Amino acid sequence: MKYVDEFRDGVLARGLARAIAAEVRPDRRYNFMEFCGGHTHAILRYGVLDLLPENVRMIHGPGCPVCVLPIGRIDLAIRLALTHGVTLCTYADTLRVPASGGMSLMRARARGGDIRMVYAVTDALKIAREHPHKQVVFFAIGFETTTPPTAVAIRQARDEGLRNFCVLCCHVLTPPAIMSILESPKVRAVGSVPLDGFIGPAHVSTVIGSRPYEFLAKEYRKPVVIAGFEPLDVMQAILMLTRQVNDGRAEVENEFTRAVTPEGNAKAQALIAEVFELRRSFEWRGLGEVPYSALKIRPAYAEFDAERRFDLDYTPVPDNKACECGAILRGVKRPTDCKLFGTVCNPETPMGSCMVSSEGACAAHYTYGCNRDVEAAA
Ligand code: SF4
């Protein structure tokens, strides 16, 4: 197949649905987690759940970069804008994530903070060049996919001698998060859903390749199938996972061969390694502190590190008690389990991070409806 609409073909989708139905055994349940918000969005937008047998359940994972940002990190960005008076640049969805005290970056902007929505880190560099008297901070979020452009921007700022530009680095890593889900006592607790396998990320895997998932298959005996973000990609991955489970195999398979190789993108990896190093620990919304699951800026580029430049200390902040985002991101609850879903919490007035981005499980459920999930929960 060559064009994107071919990966959305209804006839082919129904053919895959029949193949999955023929493969699943009636005497067992299949619980697969799609790690990425992009997959969650595709599954709900294209009605993939309606094409699956009743005993195949998809569980949403924590792979939405906006969703996993803890409140304390948003608070840091707000502090930079309101207390330190910087020009803070970030992606649109980040502006709407609830912070502590009823704040958000959007509300901080209403209070006079110079907070700007950008499409790419290069926009932040441009603002820094055009306003040399201002301190410009790029609030960098995202998984391995968005990390290389941040690395390029930091190198570019160094090469240009752009001293009024720096980065609040909140880039996170996928494999340690999957490991954390498998290790979490809350996930392994009696009554929680046993996971039979994972749909591995698409874009992240174009950077890191398929090899970093192999320990999940070897040490945790969990199959992983890396898949593209189109509905036929997802359905093919579900078929491949089902076959692995039926055969008693736990392997890393790659459905997204048109973009992902075992080694990934060596150039991007080298860039990341040059500019960033592992953080000893990082707080994720829902997962808590996860060891070696995020990146910080290396000492060689310290002058571009906003945490150092502004002497920022991180303070964890508990989530809103009524919001179930944490449990949803761990895969132990569904959006419809939350009492606030669709009432006081909706995409216009999000109470938690999962209702902000279109990749967030709550926002995707709200936008596309998902009666199948509600029925399965009953
Ligand atoms: S519906 Fe809103 S409050 Fe409930 S878990 Fe989702 S984001 Fe949080």
pLDDT of amino acid 377: 43
Ligand 1 pocket, 354 CB below 6 A? Answer: yes
> Predicted confidence band at 127 (pLDDT cuts at 50, 70, 90)?
very high
pLDDT in the model for residue 281: 95
User: What is the model's pLDDT at position 93?
Assistant: 93
Average pLDDT of the chain, as a whole number? 93
Give residue-wise pLDDT tens across range 214-243.
998 999 999 999 999 999 999 999 999 999
> According to the model, what pLDDT value does residue 373 have?
52
Give the atom of ligand 1 at the shortest distance from the alpha carbon of 352: 7
- Check whether 361 has a pLDDT greater than 70: yes
pLDDT at position 45 over 50: yes
pLDDT tens for 62-81 read 989 999 999 999 999 999 99
User: Is the pLDDT at 131 greater than 90, yes or no?
Assistant: yes
DSSP collapsed to 3 states, the chain: CCCHHHHHCHHHHHHHHHHHHHHCCCCCCEEEEEEEHHHHHHHHHCCHHHHCCCCEEEEEEEECCCCCCCHHHHHHHHHHHHCCCCEEEECHHHHHCCCHHHCCHHHHHHCCCEEEECCCHHHHHHHHHHCCCCCEEEEEEECCCCHHHHHHHHHHHHHHCCCCEEEEEEEECHHHHHHHHHHCHHHHCCCCCCCCEEEECCHHHHHHCCHHHHHHHHHHCCCEEECCCCHHHHHHHHHHHHHHHHHCCCCEEECCCCCCCCCCCHHHHHHHHHHEEECCEEEECCCEEEECCEEEECHHHHHHEHHHHCCCCCCCCCCCCCCCHHHHHHCCCCHHHCCCECCCEECCECCCHHHCCCCCHHHHHHHHCCHHHHHHHC
* Mean pLDDT (whole number) for 151-167: 98
Between the CA of 258 and the centroid of ligand 1 the distance, in Å, is: 35
Q: For 306-321, write each residue's pLDDT tens digit.
A: 999 999 999 999 988 8
Q: Tell me, using a 6 A CB cutoff, whether residue 173 lines ligand 1.
A: no
Nearest CA, atom 1, ligand 1: 341
For the cut 90, the answer to whether the pLDDT of residue 203 exceeds it is yes
pTM of the model: 0.91
Report pLDDT for 120: 96
Q: Residue 303 pLDDT more than 50?
A: yes
- Testing ligand 1's pocket by substitution, the residue of 343, 345, 348 carrying the most ligand atoms inside 8 A of its CB is 345
